Amino acid sequence: MINGEGHTIYLLGIGGIGMSALARYYHSFGFTVAGYDRTPSPLTQQLENEGMAIHYEDNPSLLPALIDIVIYTPAVPKGLKEFETLRQRGIPFMKRSEALGQISEHHFTIAVAGTHGKTTTTAMVAHILHTCGKNTTAFIGGIANNFDSNLLLGQGTDSILVAEADEYDRSFLHLHPNISIINSIDADHLDIYGDRKHLVDGFNDFAQLTENKVIIKENLAIQTDRGIRFGFGDSCDYQAVILKSEKGITDFLIIGEGQKIEIKLPMAGNHNVLNATAAYIAARQIGLEAEVIAEAFTSFKGVKRRFDIRVNNERHCYIDDYAHHPEEIRSCLTAVRTSFPNKHITLVFQPHLFSRTRDFMDEFASVLALSDKLILLDIYPARELPIEGISSEALLNKVQMTHKRICQKSELINLIDSEKPELLITMGAGDIDRFVEPLEKLIKTW
């Protein structure tokens, strides 16, 4: 499916971060690309500007007359009229993960897995390789600021492919990695795996698919004789040692291969030091020199919605982050406290999924209390129906802090404008991202 001349691909859910990258990839190989999404967004507008036909009404009469294959995401409800019509037409269907797996067969592939850190690490690896002159294609689960895109296009199938390996729905088992990274395995997606043991089993199955080396964070229960361990412990193959962290810049050493390399990372947080260490090892595995990799890190600009500092002046600071799991929230808030130790933190959090809120209710309550003031939005349901007794109100009642409240999305801008917080964080994986630009513009006027 690499030569696309004369063929049409239709994507159900084309506006998703992973789906839109696929759309761009296929479009670059000459496919006619069209699709449906529920609502327009800056991403879908960009795709339309690039020549793709997109509509936002579930209307089979709007489908292209000729479609060779349908690619869909599990986030799309099977009750869509278009879904059923396309099935009745006998057109082959492929999940997004299967399509990415098929693409990975044609490239030397570096796959980045982990319940947290995938997007930032993928962007780091892609940036390093691209900056160092390697022919690189990358599927990134966010908008990488260095590329202003979720897709870096290399030249043909000779390019090295860097791709996120998503554990949801066991998607990563469709990939064909030559090198893989496993950053973290915290309990998540228990609606798919049932329990933590089966989640770990899934990551071990992914590791076994890797042809060459598996780059693994210390203390993860991955069984392989091709592993390279990294972390802060002195028994790691590559040890990270933090020298100093201030004003969003972290200086640290990577000790491995009998040498010490100093990295100046323009990001805060121990978790990002670990992400960078994994990216460094991956780049070394394909032959890049240590000093060249270290230099590439200095120009890394991060990823939108990953500790994304939108405003930082003498009066106010505004940070946006995608964190939606308790450990991600803890990492983000810890990094904020380290970088801005004297600031009063107002956190706006939108819980993502009823099932995740149910499964980690106590953990969410504990980490949200690390802020000074909490504003909770309603749960973003995504693909789920409500669960009785699971709500933002139930979560708020469990948070042990004085300054906390529920806020409707329609009231958020006015509330923030009236309170003018010293340091504001918006956080979550739902549609809270729609507030980022309006809030940034507002805060800059204060």
Average pLDDT over all residues of the chain:
93
pTM here is 0.87
C-alpha–C-alpha distance, residues 111 and 53, integer Å? 30
pLDDT digits (tens, 9 = 90+) for 226-283: 999 999 999 999 999 999 987 778 999 999 999 999 999 999 889 999 999 999 999 9
Please give the average per-residue pLDDT across 154-174, as a whole number: 90
All domains in the chain, ordered by first residue: 8-94 (3.40.50.720), 105-297 (3.40.1190.10), 308-443 (3.90.190.20)
Tell which wins on pLDDT, 247 or 29: 29
Model confidence at 1: pLDDT above 50: no
Q: How far, in Å, are 370, 392, 427 from residue 406 at the CA level? A: 17, 7, 14
Looking at residue 12, its pLDDT comes to: 96
Please give the average per-residue pLDDT across 318-327, as a whole number: 94
Model confidence at 187: pLDDT above 80: no
**Residue 235 is encoded by which pair of tokens?**
């028994």
Tell which wins on pLDDT, 392 or 41: 392
Question: For a pLDDT cut of 70, what percent of the chain falls above it?
Answer: 98
Q: Is 384 exposed, middle or buried (0-12, 13-18, 19+ CB in 10 A)?
A: middle
Contacting residues for 92 by C-beta, under 8 A, at least 6 apart? 68, 69, 70
Looking at residue 189, its pLDDT comes to: 58
pLDDT digits (tens, 9 = 90+) for 407-433: 999 999 999 999 999 999 999 999 999
Residue spans of alpha helices (H) in 360-408: 361-368, 392-398
Q: What is the DSSP string of 302-346?
A: -BTTBSEEEEESSS-EEEEE---SHHHHHHHHHHHHHHSTTPPEE
Residue 346 CB neighbour total at 10 angstroms: 22
pLDDT digits (tens, 9 = 90+) for 105-131: 999 999 999 988 999 999 999 999 999
Model confidence at 188: pLDDT above 70: no
Which H or E run contains 354? helix 354-359
Q: What is the DSSP string of 135-174?
A: -EEEEEEEEETTTTEEEE--SGGGSEEEEEE--GGGGGGG
What is the pLDDT confidence band of residue 190, given thresholds at 50, 70 and 90? Answer: low
Say if CB 356 and CB 327 are below 8 A apart. no
Please give the average per-residue pLDDT across 172-198, as a whole number: 84
Residue carrying the six token digits 């994507």: 11
> Which has the closest alpha carbon to 185: 176, 173, 193, 177?
193
Q: What is the DSSP string of 84-121?
A: HHHHHTT--EEEHHHHHHHHHTTSEEEEEE-SSSHHHH
